[in-house]
Structure 1
Amino acid sequence: AVQTSTSGNIGNTVEQQTLVTLPIVGDRGRNPLSFITFQPGVTPNANTGGGIHVHGARDRAFNFTLDGIDVNETSAGGSNFTPIRTNPDSLTEFQVVTSNFTAELGRSSGAQVTLVTRSGTNEFHGSLFEFYQTPRFHANEYANTINTVVLNGQRQATPRPQFVQHIFGGSVGGPVILPRFGEGGPAVYNGKNRTFFFTNLQLLRTTQSIFRNRVVYTQQARNGIFRYTQGRANGNALASTASVDANGNVLPNLVSTLRTYNIFANPDGLGPDPTTQRLIGLTPLPNNFTVGDGLNTAGFSFTAPQTERQYDFTTKIDHAFNERNSIYVRYSQGEQNTLGDSGNSNVTTGGGGVGGPQAFPGGPRSVDTYRTPKNLAVNYRATLTPTTVNEFVAGFNRFTFSFNNADPNAAQNLPVFFNLITDPLNGSPTVNNARTITTLQFVDNISHVRGLHTFRAGTNIRFQKHVDTRGSVAGVEIRERIFLGTTINQVPASFGTAAISGNNAADRTRLESAINDLLGRVGTINQGFVATDDTTFAPGSTPFLYDARYPEYDFFGQDTWKLRPNLTLDLGLRWEVRLSPRAPNDIVLRPEQRLAAGEPPTNSFRFGEGKLYDDTYKQFAPSVGFAWDPFGTGKTSVRANYRLAYDRTNTFVFSSFIFQSAPGLTRPVVNESFGRSGGLLRQGLPVLSSNDVTPLQFRQPAPFSTASLTVVDPNLTYPRTHQYSISFQREIGRKTVLEVNYIGRQGRNLFGGYDANQVDITNNGFLNDFNELRMTGNSARINALLAGDARLQLVSGVRETGSQFLRRQTLAGTVTLADGTTTSNLVAGGGVAHAAFLIAQGVRSGTTNSPNIVANGFSPFY
């Protein structure tokens, strides 16, 4: 039938029979939210955020409810995902409204998805199910058959991934039968016609393999012998400048030009570093010479296991006191644990992140993810008069996501990070990061029919609590991390790497990185510290604990007016109150002045206590429209609707970018002096300390720094979206309706981020100086800018100029390409933006690494 009861609420409803009948079976579950993907106007698989957009809405702008209670992943919603994993057997109805919803629906401007749990009946019913998947039942993926790899010198198809999944469980429901105690009356309570129960349990066991390429040292490099070919860059077996064949053998035409450099025959008399040698010993020898530079680094390819263990349980009790009053209680909980989670990683590695699975066979998993959701709904429905109905719902949505380092020896492992190879161990804390979000919710809706009018009004109040336990703070980790980079601890000129004849610039960079890796030459050490109060920072490895609150108050009123038998008007208004985040057990710090594009530059701003932004009380969202049957036959419908909708901000933005990095709540400490002095792992590492300043003093950051800060604009307003639609429906046959919709959206004040202190290379002269350097090889102003920089090297006893320094830099992200080459030199390749960023980020006061450009006559922004 055509829709004439409302002007908006464009979408569809899926009933229980359809839910159960359709084969909804995917990776790691049976997710009824998969139906969303098949709705008109839905665009899946986008490359940002949650990845699913509805009529152009932001991918996080979803609202999921189960029995009226929030089941959103409140910290970062959308993605067809809810912490409580419902399944088709547990639901009686699934409704998705994709646009122009009426006033009782809100919280977000995107899809409104309503799930309803099944109830028991007067008869006992039950079901059992199992869904089993195995590679033997599936054809190989087409991509695996056409994408080949070279393993142990043999070209072959990409190994077929192993995916074995069991999903099993069941449901049972019926009248509640309970023993009755006491004298007189029947021996049991029979709940027929009054009290019913329903219970659903689903379990999942999944094992899969994930093909991985890692980067490892060749045997010669492990022995300290760095190999290169004169006059050309090293290249793996697939590179245009290949140095080796598929088995790692040097190509015959290059044998005469092959040269070696013995790292362990260095002038300092240093042998292999015991720590890095032990870590390198945890990595296997290469089996894939299509990765790395072929001569010194190559690939190790294998399939890493990932396992999933889930259970999801739902139970519901319905009771009818009488014909006018009823109640139900529904409780759900579950566990969804992913061991070797490929989707989450806190690992930073020089040779490439290892993700969640093990870095190498036999090693520990990098990340295990544990999820424990719980959800409760209590609903009381009262028919106050024949024309007035009130429904009250209270409940909570609570879930914890914990991302853990699965290595049982994580606390004892020294977190050293290599330059050229995949790190064999996760150097993160035992608990990388964890968050627990609890939403207490109270909903009350009342409807009243009076003549031709149906009035509705209600409130939806949510008290959200986001508790963070973080091992990542202020851009670093609460454990110390040791990097072996060459920018700070430069290879001494006495090693002769600059004087090697015929050594390609990229190979020289790799050689110096290998020297630091094998000899254990420390570049930087960093660690994050957490304030205990205004006077003291806690000892290292103390996690950051933060409790933030996000209260939200929604109110609505609506009139559905049957103006004529064939014409219905919808008039509604929604009021949404959004308050700035609170921290009852902690403090909220924000800049004491506005930091935004167009504001005057400052080197002296401070962080102080206060709201991140103003509370918002003026979010009024009207909804108006009509539904018209122009011929009065019930076979044609013309509808039009306008709706203003607001979006909330996800709490993950504040927990991940704002609170944990606020100066005075946390502090990063970076030690470069040990590296500049040629520090070695074998000498013992300095202990980092944060108590040279108090947290209160640190609220004013240093005027010059390589670090960056993310802050909230104090003038932040919540995103709003104007939605308008025109719909035409016509019944064209038995159970067949033709529908055509035009849906428009206009977003305003959409949430986003930008660099408020971007380097203006066009107007400040840097672009002209860079082009001069690019054309002539020299720029006097760049020479002056970098004069005295500790990174300038001695060439034949003469200190290089700033222009020469920039000319030997490579473009960011191109040093470790799979073929072992770089796309271009920084200057020759026109990398002006990266050059400007390098200089701007490298300018600090009071250090010897970069000059103080104020002293050299330049402004802090060039």
Structure 2
Amino acid sequence: MKRFSFIALALCLFAVASVSFGQTVNSRVTGTVKDTADAVVPGVKVTLIDAKTRDEKTATTNEEGVFTFVDVRVGTYTVIAERANFKKKQITDIQVHVDVAAVLNVVLEPGGIAETVSVSASGSEALIRTENAKLSTTVDVKQVQDLPLNGRKPINIAGGQAGVATNTNVRGAVINGLRGSFSNITWDGIEINDNLVRTDSLFGVNTPSVAGVSEFTLTTQNAGPDEGLGIAQVKFTTPRGGKGYHGEAYDYYRNSRFDANTFFNNNTIDSKTGKSLPKPALLQHQFGFNIGGPFALPRPGEGGPSLMEKHKLFFYFFLEKTNTTFDFTPLRTVLSSGARTGNFVYLATCGVTGQPACPAGVVNGQQ
């Protein structure tokens, strides 16, 4: 009986894992290798090198000269193509974005394999997407890190993308005229929608901050069947560690002393002071730290390095907290002295437009 329960539990976990893997956040690198006569070249060894971790993958072009690398993490890569009787071709600075395949056109020149021709990806990547009909925009790590964001929420950048209409705030934005329930927000493939109140297109129960996002892709139309629910897709991806240790500690401070007053406060006169209403106070600290690098274990024994690093496993960790103190103007109903003793007085509302006629002996406003 215990063995049966264990097997059933294992099958359930496998089923859940299979469903979770359906939400992919990685991408592909594909391309076609041709010679200078525009003929496809089969049997070319193609190597994909991760610039951050130096991890390598290899593939060989098929009869049509096509190569494909699947399950490629977001980042910068180098591709090296080599075959006998051709010069080695090296393409650097290939940017792989979340849910956006990198398509390369590789041209090999006749010559010795010992010769290397190095070019940048800008001259080798295809300008037109032909593998699908998605309408998507990628907000890369530089935009996430450098653009000023109120509250350090990268999802606010989505409000300025094509096809997104914001009325009063980004949270309630309309994407290509769709309902709020027609969007899907994921973070590393995990759904973070607010499934209780599915009315806002760009709102999640755990929307990540700048420290937790390397980049994200917004698909506004023609999402594939593998995307899960939602016509519009917002896919966040977390930064990852590399060969070296990198990190930072920060504290973003906001103080209302450096802010201007609002338009309505400036134009509202306080009856007691005869002056405009003061600006509301705001004190906010957003502080935290992040660190990433290769996973290492202490090395026992004497001599040699103190840490064992295989450079096969990498980590990234971040922690952020927000402390906010601010003023606000609440609206309250205060009972009169008579009402506090149980003496409630009602006024007649009748005899005016939209109200019934007053009974005999009763006028509008009478107690």
The normalised TM-score by structure 2 is 0.56
Q: Give the partner amino acid of 1:4.
A: R
Corresponding residue SS for 1:33: helix
Matched, 1:61 2:182: yes
**Partner of 2:39 in structure 1?**
none
CA-to-aligned-CA distance 1:454-474 (integer Å, 9 cap, x gap): xxxxxxxxxxxxxxxxxxxxx
Query: Does the 8 Å contact 1:50/1:59 carry over to 2?
Result: no
**Partner of 2:112 in structure 1?**
none
**Partner of 2:203 in structure 1?**
81
Q: Distance in 2 between matches of 1:85 and 1:41?
A: 21
CA-to-aligned-CA distance 1:416-475 (integer Å, 9 cap, x gap): xxxxxxxxxxxxxxxxxxxxxxxxxxxxxxxxxxxxxxxxxxxxxxxxxxxxxxxxxxxx
Query: Does the 8 Å contact 1:11/1:39 carry over to 2?
Result: no
1:112 deviation in Å? Answer: 0.1
Q: Give the partner amino acid of 1:126.
A: G
* 1:117-128 to 2 correspondences below 5 Å: 117-128=238-249
**Partner of 1:196 in structure 2?**
314
CA-to-aligned-CA distance 1:299-328 (integer Å, 9 cap, x gap): xxxxxxxxxxxxxxxxxxxxxxxxxxxxxx
Query: Does the 8 Å contact 1:809/1:825 carry over to 2?
Result: no
| Counterpart among 193, 210, 226 of residue 328 in structure 2 | 210
**Partner of 1:108 in structure 2?**
230
| Counterpart among 152, 156, 166 of residue 285 in structure 2 | 166
CA-to-aligned-CA distance 1:90-119 (integer Å, 9 cap, x gap): 22221110112223224013x200011111
Query: Does the 8 Å contact 1:172/1:198 carry over to 2?
Result: yes
Where do 5+ consecutive residues of structure 1 fail to align? 225-271, 278-483, 485-490, 492-509, 514-807, 812-822, 830-862
Corresponding residue SS for 1:210: coil
With over 3 angstroms needed to count, the CA separation of the structure-2 counterparts of 1:511 and 1:108, relative to structure 1, is same
RMSD between aligned residues? 3.3
Q: Give the partner amino acid of 1:118.
A: P
Q: Give the partner amino acid of 2:161.
A: Q
Corresponding residue SS for 2:138: strand
Q: Distance in 2 between matches of 1:824 and 1:159?
A: 40
Q: Distance in 1 between matches of 2:192 and 2:282?
A: 29
Corresponding residue SS for 1:2: coil
**Partner of 1:37 in structure 2?**
159
Q: Distance in 1 between matches of 2:229 and 2:219?
A: 13
Q: Distance in 1 between matches of 2:174 and 2:287?
A: 31
* 1:289-328 to 2 correspondences below 5 Å: none
**Partner of 1:177 in structure 2?**
296
Q: Percent identity?
A: 29
Q: Distance in 1 between matches of 2:210 and 2:324?
A: 19
Q: Give the partner amino acid of 1:55.
A: N
| Counterpart among 247, 251, 269 of residue 148 in structure 1 | 269
With over 3 angstroms needed to count, the CA separation of the structure-2 counterparts of 1:106 and 1:31, relative to structure 1, is same
With over 3 angstroms needed to count, the CA separation of the structure-2 counterparts of 1:133 and 1:126, relative to structure 1, is same
Q: Distance in 1 between matches of 2:179 and 2:305?
A: 59
Q: Distance in 2 between matches of 1:70 and 1:56?
A: 22
Query: Does the 8 Å contact 1:148/1:156 carry over to 2?
Result: yes
1:125 deviation in Å? Answer: 0.5
Corresponding residue SS for 2:181: coil
Q: Distance in 2 between matches of 1:58 and 1:179?
A: 53
1:71 deviation in Å? Answer: 1.4
Query: Does the 8 Å contact 1:134/1:164 carry over to 2?
Result: yes
With over 3 angstroms needed to count, the CA separation of the structure-2 counterparts of 1:810 and 1:102, relative to structure 1, is farther
Following TM superposition, the consecutive aligned residue runs of length 4 or more in structure 1 with deviations greater than 4 angstroms are: 180-187, 808-811
Q: Distance in 2 between matches of 1:95 and 1:208?
A: 34
Q: Give the partner amino acid of 1:71.
A: I
1:121 deviation in Å? Answer: 0.4
1:212 deviation in Å? Answer: 3.0
Matched, 1:130 2:248: no
With over 3 angstroms needed to count, the CA separation of the structure-2 counterparts of 1:186 and 1:160, relative to structure 1, is closer
Q: Distance in 1 between matches of 2:166 and 2:357?
A: 40
What number of residue pairs does the alignment pair up?
232
Q: Distance in 2 between matches of 1:133 and 1:185?
A: 48
Query: Does the 8 Å contact 2:153/2:208 carry over to 1?
Result: yes
* 1:236-635 to 2 correspondences below 5 Å: 276=340, 511-512=345-346
Corresponding residue SS for 1:165: strand
Corresponding residue SS for 1:86: coil
Corresponding residue SS for 2:180: coil
Matched, 1:826 2:352: no
**Partner of 1:562 in structure 2?**
none
Corresponding residue SS for 1:191: strand
Q: Distance in 2 between matches of 1:118 and 1:828?
A: 70
Q: Distance in 1 between matches of 2:217 and 2:165?
A: 18
Query: Does the 8 Å contact 1:175/1:196 carry over to 2?
Result: yes
With over 3 angstroms needed to count, the CA separation of the structure-2 counterparts of 1:169 and 1:50, relative to structure 1, is closer
CA-to-aligned-CA distance 1:583-604 (integer Å, 9 cap, x gap): xxxxxxxxxxxxxxxxxxxxxx
Q: Give the partner amino acid of 2:356.
A: V
The normalised TM-score by structure 1 is 0.25
Query: Does the 8 Å contact 1:124/1:174 carry over to 2?
Result: yes
